[in-house]
Structure 1
Amino acid sequence: MSAPIATPDRALKTHAQTPARWQKTIGSPAYADLPPLRAEMRRFLDLAGSPAATSDRYCLSLCEIISNLVKHPRQKAQAVAITCTAAGAHLRLDVADDSTPFASFDAICKSAPARLQAAGTLAESGYGLGCIVAQHARVCYTPAAASVDGRNHFTLEDGAPAAAPQSAPKPLVFLVDDNPADLKMHHRMLSGFYDVVPLGDAMAAMAMFDARRPDLIISDLHMPGTDGAALRRRISALPDGDTVPFIFLSAAAEGMNDANLLRLGIDDYIVKPATSQALQRTAERVLRRREQVHRALESRFHRDVQKYLHPHLPPQAGRWRIALKNRMADAGGGDFTLHSGNEDSLSVILADVMGHGTEAKFFAYAYAGYLRSLFRGALAPERGLAPAAPHTLLTMLSAAVAADDFLDASLLTCQSFRLAQDGTITIASAGHPPPLLLPRRALPSVLPVAGALPGLAGADYQPLHLQLAAGDKIIFATDGFFDAFSAEGEAHPPAALMQMLDTCAPMGAEDCSHEIWQRFEFCAQTQTRPPDDATLIIAAYGGSDEHQ
């Protein structure tokens, strides 16, 4: 592989609006290319200042394209050229290859969606177009016959050339008062700080609420017909209406002590005539308190999700010793494990759901729950059936993802393995970084196991069978772990990790994991990109009873 070409870090950070470019050319693509390509592209986009969620989308789409170049062309590509340019919010990714074009149509463009449905081309192409098209503003595939340079081009693009920064939108405030003079005066006091919608009565506010959800409602208490209290009750009865903060305006402070009003759960009140200072400060205080509550709820959600997703495995399964280390990042997607065993074997799935932010955490939470239900029958020995083989589990998962629009909207990588009591281990992989073999009396090596990302048409997962000797270990990990050891442009596995494994060969699973994890935490502190979830699993075979 050629070395990547990218603008230096200083230039990327200092001149964020100047187009930065990352180029990479590889030979005939393979699944093993996915982890280093994803790592290099993420570093480039992070240095270019792209939001984490945008970086995730582009990295996942690149992996989707390369995976299909590995799997589907009748004549495989001999060279693949990848070019990504970034300038502010404008991103463009072009993947050019010399393979047999996918399907017999001239171009696939999101701007002409009818062409996407032409004569089964979606199913034939194997490109997972539904996933890619949904994630980008402009998507175009041009076969070699229609391109200038005689190569196939898959191009993704988002955003427009960077423009002058725009100020954040103002909070939306409904101002409700039947007195035209008060309504006009209060509107003038607030309009410099908020997007204020003046409304002359409660019914107008109810009608407007259906069209626009305000961040705050300020209402006169005493109005003819439907008064402020009735408005509060009606708003609270609507979906999410009780989460909108409410401030009353009243000509008499003592009226605000009415027990019925207090039960309405208003956030504050202002005595008329309201001064500009009182109106602005009260609105600011209530909105700030609302934001604090939202942050607290989001933090609690993260804690609950992390508790549910936190990977865990038994420390011992017969003659196997198992050590697991994990870091869950608030901004990261989600790593999780599933396992089930009997007296003969332990079956494990290690999954890494891609993405960042609250939505990604929620998706990981939902994905884990879905998979627990999906694989309960396949992994549960209490049903009297032998656990499904690792490659069978991945085939089931891939079929479920392909058939489910919700799951197909996101991507994950995963590895499935089974530890048998005679020292044999069976491994299958779906887009996941290859595991490492750490023999007791030999050099560490990368295990040759790979497979397409779940959900791709015709995914075929081949198992790898190994016989371990006493003291041999297998290391499984997610991208977040391997990325911490990787240098710019370095292929899997990272040299820094492989070097330290030499000293870990004689150790048991727990001591080995402790030593490696300490080094991981040191390397992770030097990273500039947002932290990702990271999981490390070490399975060590103990041999016969006398070796335990």
Structure 2
Amino acid sequence: MVSVVQDICRPATLGKVSDTRKRLGQTLKQRGVADHLSNKIQLCFSEAAANLLEHTEPHPTFIAVSLECVDGLWLLHIDDDGESWDPTLANRVKSLDTFEEKEGGRGLALIHSLTDGLEYTKRTTFGENRLTLKWSIQQVATKPSVLVVEDDDSQRRLISAYLSEHFKVSEASNGQDALQFLMNNNVDLVISDIRMPGMDGLDLKKALHNQTNTLLTPFIFLTYADSQEIRDNAMGLGIDDYILKPVTKSALVQSARRVLHRSEQIYRQLTDKVNHRITNALTPSLPTESRQWQIAFATRNTGIGGGDLILHRDTDDFLMINMVDIMGHDVAAKFFSYAYGGYLRGLMYHVDDTDDPCGTLLSRLSDCAMDDNLLSQVILTCCSVALYDDAKFSMATAGHPAPIKVSEEGAALMNVGGIMPGVLYGADYDTLTTTLKSGERIAMYTDGLFEAADSPESRQTLEKAVMRELENTLALPVTEAVQHVIQVFDNYGDWHRDDATIMLLEYADPVLD
């Protein structure tokens, strides 16, 4: 057992919880935990702790947290001295009766969906409640994997011995066995002899060209064969190195490292290009005006990870706009953004025949996030709004920050919320339908706008500054106002931490002749 984090929130406040979540994230990053798992652990801790503070009576005076790595599991223990409550009971999961659904659309159901197991111990008279959340640890090889293909037993054992200190080595005695192995296993490098009975090294390399998963696998020939014809044939197959036997350990290891390093460089370059192209494709494009609605947005893109999407469709009856936040900080998350963007565009073309386009779209999106093997691998939030004539609009959110209404009375969060997509089958979303008065506007944004702050205190400062700027720029056109607001974000936040997007909507009364 390895204890990773031990911390205590005393007094039990949301600010203390935020500090502990930050420490969890930093520690998990230092331990090399993948972003998607780190996000799950941090999110589940925040939801459990926040709901303990907001929805139990009596409230806990402290919340203690410890994170352990034991027997192939991450264990997150959350102890408190408040009201005893068992989230593992079946009726709790079904009814969501203790965790508030509209609190960011998350809570108990989210915790169940993002963990591999839960345990709860009720406190005694002088004891503590303990909620334990579990995640399985996927074992990942720490050494690059190499397949050695050599028909001579002694040579194969010698080459494997040379490489075993620095690489995870597998062996095959001929090309056919090697091909069969590679159809079922991924390796980082193949080192093969050329002259072998049956399928020789040249035929093996040709066969790998015909398989998608091995087409780009780095390949080294290690052989006694040294005729110009064989060299030309080998080089024509796009190998990465050609080494003559006998070879020393240092020369072999150096060649393997050089080839793997070059392969990694190429991979990074390709990844950066794909990332750049997808990022450009996801850049929002919105009309500045539709149905007398004035629209403006500003965004800060870190260039990594899932990011923010804004999609729109103008129908005969309304303009629909969807703001989506895809969580994650790697190129896979960027791909999921692209995939979800395509899926959402399709959904937006199939809500015309309903009186509740926003709620219907989010319900269908949630079922997709639950059922689809590809899209279920990512966490996202969404805010959907339909803008009608005569200043009418309808709005629904799924795990997304509540929009802000700005008026002469000030800036205030709107009373709209819903559960995060993919948490429950058949999730329903309440829709807010109302009319925007003259002199009012709506601000929709992703949570990166405020998550850019690096402490609870700086977040409060950032939030107050943004709200104040929304109020101060109410008389400006939305195109100017949104730039003022994002400038506040630039001044107070660290936009390298997460993508941030803000959009302003305002209804402009037609000019009467």
In structure 2, what residue type is equivalent to 1:540? E
- In structure 1, C-alpha distance between the alignment counterparts of 2:400 and 2:16, rounded to whole Å: 13
Residues 477 and 39 of structure 1: CA distance in aligned 2, closer, same or farther (over 3 Å): farther
**Aligned partners of 2:396 and 2:417 also within 8 Å:** yes
- In structure 1, C-alpha distance between the alignment counterparts of 2:256 and 2:150, rounded to whole Å: 16
- Work out which of the residue numbers 134, 140, 146 in structure 1 matches 2:119: 140
Alignment of 1:126-137 (within 5 A): 132=111, 135-137=114-116
Q: Which runs of 5+ in 2 are unaligned?
A: 100-106
Question: Which residue in 2 is equivalent to 1:332?
Answer: 305
- Work out which of the residue numbers 196, 210, 219 in structure 2 matches 1:237: 210
Deviations 1:67-92 (CA, angstroms, capped at 9, x unpaired)? 99999xxxx74356554334689651
- In structure 2, C-alpha distance between the alignment counterparts of 1:395 and 1:198, rounded to whole Å: 51
Alignment of 1:69-148 (within 5 A): 77-79=56-58, 81=60, 83-86=64-67, 92-94=76-78, 98=83, 123=94, 132=111, 135-141=114-120
**Aligned partners of 1:309 and 1:365 also within 8 Å:** yes
**Aligned partners of 1:395 and 1:459 also within 8 Å:** yes
Determine if the alignment matches structure 1 residue 495 to structure 2 residue 464.
yes
- Work out which of the residue numbers 210, 234, 245 in structure 2 matches 1:272: 245
* Paired residue secondary structure (2:197): coil
Question: Which residue in 2 is equivalent to 1:156?
Answer: 133
Deviations 1:275-300 (CA, angstroms, capped at 9, x unpaired)? 44432332222111111121122222
Cα distance, 1:193 vs structure 2: 2.9
In structure 2, what residue type is equivalent to 1:156? L
* Paired residue secondary structure (2:22): helix
Alignment of 1:534-545 (within 5 A): 534-545=500-511
- Work out which of the residue numbers 23, 44, 63 in structure 1 matches 2:23: 44
Cα distance, 1:453 vs structure 2: 2.1
* Paired residue secondary structure (2:319): strand
- Work out which of the residue numbers 14, 19, 23 in structure 1 matches 2:6: 19
Question: Which residue in 2 is equivalent to 1:116?
Answer: none
Cα distance, 1:408 vs structure 2: 4.6
Relative to the length of structure 2, the TM-score reads 0.80
**Aligned partners of 1:487 and 1:494 also within 8 Å:** no
- In structure 2, C-alpha distance between the alignment counterparts of 1:332 and 1:172, rounded to whole Å: 27
**Aligned partners of 1:94 and 1:153 also within 8 Å:** yes
Residues 458 and 442 of structure 1: CA distance in aligned 2, closer, same or farther (over 3 Å): same
Relative to the length of structure 1, the TM-score reads 0.75
Cα distance, 1:121 vs structure 2: 8.3
Deviates more, 1:179-188 or 1:340-349: 179-188
- In structure 2, C-alpha distance between the alignment counterparts of 1:354 and 1:434, rounded to whole Å: 17
- In structure 1, C-alpha distance between the alignment counterparts of 2:59 and 2:384, rounded to whole Å: 30
Cα distance, 1:511 vs structure 2: 0.8
* Paired residue secondary structure (2:199): coil
Determine if the alignment matches structure 1 residue 479 to structure 2 residue 486.
no
Q: Which runs of 5+ in 1 are unaligned?
A: 1-15, 27-32, 106-119, 161-165, 380-384
Deviations 1:179-203 (CA, angstroms, capped at 9, x unpaired)? 4454444344433332333544334
- Work out which of the residue numbers 39, 45, 69 in structure 2 matches 1:56: 39
Aligned pair count reads 490
Cα distance, 1:538 vs structure 2: 0.8
Deviations 1:189-224 (CA, angstroms, capped at 9, x unpaired)? 433332333544334433543554322111121223
Question: Which residue in 2 is equivalent to 1:286?
Answer: 259
CA RMSD, aligned part only?
4.0
Question: Which residue in 2 is equivalent to 1:366?
Answer: 339
Question: Which residue in 2 is equivalent to 1:390?
Answer: 358
Deviations 1:389-410 (CA, angstroms, capped at 9, x unpaired)? 4334333433444555654554
In structure 2, what residue type is equivalent to 1:447? M
Cα distance, 1:496 vs structure 2: 2.4
**Aligned partners of 1:53 and 1:357 also within 8 Å:** no
Question: Which residue in 1 is equivalent to 2:385?
Answer: 417
**Aligned partners of 2:370 and 2:425 also within 8 Å:** yes
Determine if the alignment matches structure 1 residue 520 to structure 2 residue 489.
yes
Cα distance, 1:344 vs structure 2: 5.3
**Aligned partners of 1:429 and 1:450 also within 8 Å:** yes
- In structure 1, C-alpha distance between the alignment counterparts of 2:419 and 2:50, rounded to whole Å: 6
Q: Give % identity.
A: 30
Alignment of 1:185-334 (within 5 A): 185-210=158-183, 212-255=185-228, 260-334=233-307
